[in-house]
């Protein structure tokens, strides 16, 4: 079985972002970029499944400008077998990304597609669900545990939902999106980083995949959220209670 994993290059989770003064977006120049944390978890899970003997190959795919190749190299260093870079010079809506992944799935025929549940830049949480819809496959989103049966026909997935944990059983091929507690991604070791340099990364375009760009959403502007009034430090529990009661009126 082959596993396809989509990985996105995003602003690093620890960076304090700045909104551009012209309100066209967030400043990403000279800012640290990394693989989206949820995508790392997705890749890690795919690698574990391969290491357990359930999959023969893990293919990482990234869609975006040439710097995506760095993200793919990190994925290859973690252990993916090969990478696919779909070139795109503008950022696409999740629906277009989903169509690209659908086309790739039709070529690669994976038994599983793993994605992070959301990207920490746009926080959309849509792409995995859309890929599943376009392929007509079952979906198991917000996964915190994935167990494959020995015949690789069924995945039993625990999902993090509002009320707690829900367990689903899905027939393969299926799309799984990963949540935080699914696993702890490995660090790429130096020998693996070196090995990764010779693993292949195939370049593809939207024309190759016969995908039309969907643009039914326009960004009007990007702004800063309203700032909270700065607070005060109190010096005792008595003072705190007094303020909560008589100033804030919340107790």
Partner 1 sequence: MTRAVLLRALTKNKFVASNIPRSLSVTNLSRCISTLILAEHESGSIKAQTVSTVVAAGSLGESSTISLLLAGSGSSLHEAAAQAASCHPSVSEVLVADSDKFEYPLAEPWAKLVDFVRQRGEYSHILASSSSFGKNILPRVAALLDVSPITDVVKILGSNEFIRPIYAGNALCTVRYTGSGPCMLTIRSTSFPVTPISADSQSKKATISQIDLSKFKEDSVSRSRYVGQSTQDTERPDLGSARVVITGGRALKSVENFKMIEKLAEKLGGAVGATRAAVDAGYVPNDLQVGQTGKIVAPELYMAFGVSGAIQHLAGIKDSKVIVAVNKDADAPIFQVADYGLVGDLFEVIPELLEKLPEKK
- Name residues contacting partner 1, limited to 149-168 (CB under 8 A): 156, 159-168
Q: Quick one: 37 or 79, whose CB is closer to partner 1?
A: 37
Helices 94-108/127-135 angle, 10° precision: 50
Nearest to 179 by CA among 142, 214, 152: 142
Q: Quick one: 200 or 231, whose CB is closer to partner 1?
A: 231
For partner 1, which residue of 130, 143, 146, 196 counts as binding (CB under 8 A)?
A: 130
From CA 122, how far away is CA 71, in angstroms rounded? 18
Q: Under the criterion CB under 8 A, does residue 122 sit at the interface with partner 1?
A: yes
DSSP character for 243?
Answer: I
Q: Under the criterion CB under 8 A, does residue 9 sit at the interface with partner 1?
A: no
Binding mask 33-72 for partner 1 (x = CB under 8 A): ----------------------------------------
Q: Under the criterion CB under 8 A, does residue 98 sit at the interface with partner 1?
A: yes
CA-to-CA separations, 172 to 2, 135, 152, 225, in angstroms, rounded: 12, 12, 7, 42
Cβ atoms of residues 244 and 250 within 8 Å: yes
Q: Quick one: 198 or 235, whose CB is closer to partner 1?
A: 235
Q: How far is the CB of 172 from partner 1 (least distance, A)?
A: 9
For partner 1, which residue of 124, 149, 202, 205 counts as binding (CB under 8 A)?
A: 124
By residue count, the chain amounts to 251
Residues in 160-219 that interact with partner 1 by CB under 8 A: 160-171, 174, 179-181, 214-219
From CA 197, how far away is CA 192, in angstroms rounded? 9
Q: How far is the CB of 161 from partner 1 (least distance, A)?
A: 4
Nearest to 44 by CA among 82, 68, 74, 79: 79
For partner 1, which residue of 22, 123, 151, 207 counts as binding (CB under 8 A)?
A: 123
Per-residue tokens: 114: 């793993």
- CA atoms in the 13 A half-sphere facing the CB of 54: 21
From CA 33, how far away is CA 39, in angstroms rounded? 13
Stretch that binds partner 1, among 47-55, 77-85, 198-206, 223-231 (CB under 8 A): 223-231
Q: Under the criterion CB under 8 A, does residue 222 sit at the interface with partner 1?
A: yes
Q: Quick one: 74 or 178, whose CB is closer to partner 1?
A: 178
């Amino acid at each position: 079985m082959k596993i396809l994993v989509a990985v996105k290059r995003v602003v690093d989770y620890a960076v304090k972002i700045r909104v551009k003064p012209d309100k066209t977006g967030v400043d990403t120049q000279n800012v640290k970029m990394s693989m989206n944390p949820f995508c790392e978890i997705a890749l890690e899970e795919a690698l574990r499944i391969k290491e357990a003997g359930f999959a023969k190959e893990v293919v990482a795919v990234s869609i975006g400008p040439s710097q995506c190749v760095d993200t793919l190299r990190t994925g290859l260093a973690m252990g993916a077998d090969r990478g696919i870079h779909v070139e795109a010079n503008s950022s696409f809506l999740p629906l277009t990304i989903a169509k690209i992944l659908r086309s790739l799935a039709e070529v690669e025929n994976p038994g599983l597609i793993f994605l992070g549940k959301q990207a920490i830049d746009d926080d959309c949480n849509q792409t995995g669900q859309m890929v599943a819809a376009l392929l007509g496959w079952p979906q198991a989103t917000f996964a915190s545990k994935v167990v494959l049966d020995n015949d690789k026909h069924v995945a039993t997935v625990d999902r993090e939902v509002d009320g707690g944990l829900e367990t689903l059983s899905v027939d393969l091929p299926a799309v799984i999106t990963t949540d935080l507690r699914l696993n702890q991604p490995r660090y790429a070791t130096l020998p693996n980083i070196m090995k990764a340099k010779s693993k292949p990364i195939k370049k593809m375009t939207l024309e190759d995949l016969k995908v039309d760009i969907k643009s039914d959403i326009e960004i009007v502007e990007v702004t800063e959220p309203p700032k909270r009034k700065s607070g005060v430090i109190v010096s005792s529990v008595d003072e705190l209670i007094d303020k909560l009661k008589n100033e804030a009126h919340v107790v």
